[in-house]
Amino acid sequence: MNFSVLIPIYTKESPEFFNQALESIVQQTLLPSEIVIVEDGPISNELRMVLNNFESRYPNLFNIVKLEHNSGMGVAMNTGLHYCKYDYVARMDSDDIAKPNRFEIQFNFLKHHPNIDVLGCNIEEFKFKIHDLNRVRRLPELHNDLKEFIKKRSPFNHMTVVFKKQKAIEAGGYWSQRNLEDYNLWYEMLKRGAMFHNLQEILVDVRIGNNMAKRRHGYAYFLSEYDFFHKMMADHFITKIRFYRNVVLRLFLRVMPLPFLQVAYSFFLRNSR
């Protein structure tokens, strides 16, 4: 089965981590047909060296898309989405590590379940080396459970998904706002009848740090969430009670001191392995 892997990258990312992420892809038991790298603005010389090395090793595998300016994750991914050549698109972040059989497991499932439009899986988070945090993000498995879960939280670990390109484009693709890019896409796809599933295996090791909580901290991020859940309510997808429950919880999380938010993500929003 032919498929594209979509990875955005920008200049401040670690060349070492980027190298590890790409190495985990080219060593898969099922190799992708192409890897689309979207440079979100000019990248560092060190990142360029990593890319050049992989392009020389795999001359027909990489498709490099360059954006003139840093435009944010949503613009980068939506641009890359349209450059992907194949019907299925697999997401990957530039600092995570895929298990060697990730794509083989996911595409074997999709081969036997062609009705599934978005397929994710569970993740284990780490800081310095795999298993050092003993922390997992598990999500519901079946479509109906995910349809309920999306009313309060994103139903997928974004860096794990494989989705049908055309279904994503029909839903408007990734929006240009700098927050909730994937959450909005899953919601728009669901509104148009997309079918969801999460495998319960851990197929991606996800590198985290203080930046994860920092990106989701502050009143500006809360306003993005407020607008998003208000759209859900206006669509009659969630009730007013669910809307107010969501926004009150988000306001509490976004304005609490950053160290407390980090603790919340570590102990209340994740599970032990």
Q: What is the pLDDT of residue 255?
A: 79
List all residues 6 or more positions away from 85 whose beta carbon is below 8 Å from its beta carbon: 2, 4, 33, 34, 63
Q: What pTM was computed for the model? A: 0.93
**101 has a pLDDT exceeding 70:** yes
> Is residue 96 helix, strand or coil?
coil
pLDDT per position as a tens digit, 198-256: 999 999 999 986 466 556 667 888 999 999 999 999 999 999 999 999 999 998 888 77
**Residue 272 banded pLDDT, cuts 50, 70, 90:** low
Tokens read off for 47: 């990142």
CB 40 within 8 A of CB 8: yes
CB 119 within 8 A of CB 162: yes
Nearest residue to 131 via CA among 166, 99, 92: 99
Q: What is the pLDDT of residue 50?
A: 98
Q: Is the dihedral of CA 61, 164, 181, 95 positive or negative?
A: negative
> Is residue 88 helix, strand or coil?
strand
Q: Which residue has the higher pLDDT, 47 or 273?
A: 47
Q: What is the pLDDT of residue 177?
A: 86
Mean model confidence pLDDT for the chain: 92
Q: What is the pLDDT of residue 252?
A: 84
Among 50-54, 221-225, 229-233, 257-261, which is the least confidently predicted range? 257-261
Q: Which fold has domain 3-208?
A: Spore Coat Polysaccharide Biosynthesis Protein SpsA; Chain A (3.90.550)
Q: What is the pLDDT of residue 199?
A: 98
Tokens read off for 245: 């429950």
- Rounded to whole angstroms, the maximal C-alpha distance in the chain is 56
Q: What is the pLDDT of residue 226?
A: 95
Question: At what angle are helices 219-234 and 240-255 packed, to 10 degrees?
Answer: 170
Residue % of the chain over a pLDDT of 70: 91
Q: What are the structural domain ranges in the chain?
A: 3-208, 210-273
Q: What is the pLDDT of residue 260?
A: 61
Q: Report the length, in residues, of the chain.
A: 273
Tokens read off for 106: 């996911």
Distance from C-alpha of 63 to C-alpha of 55, rounded to nearest angstrom: 9
pLDDT per position as a tens digit, 117-151: 999 999 999 988 999 888 899 999 999 999 999 99
**99 has a pLDDT exceeding 80:** yes
pLDDT per position as a tens digit, 14-30: 999 999 999 999 999 99
Q: What is the pLDDT of residue 264?
A: 60
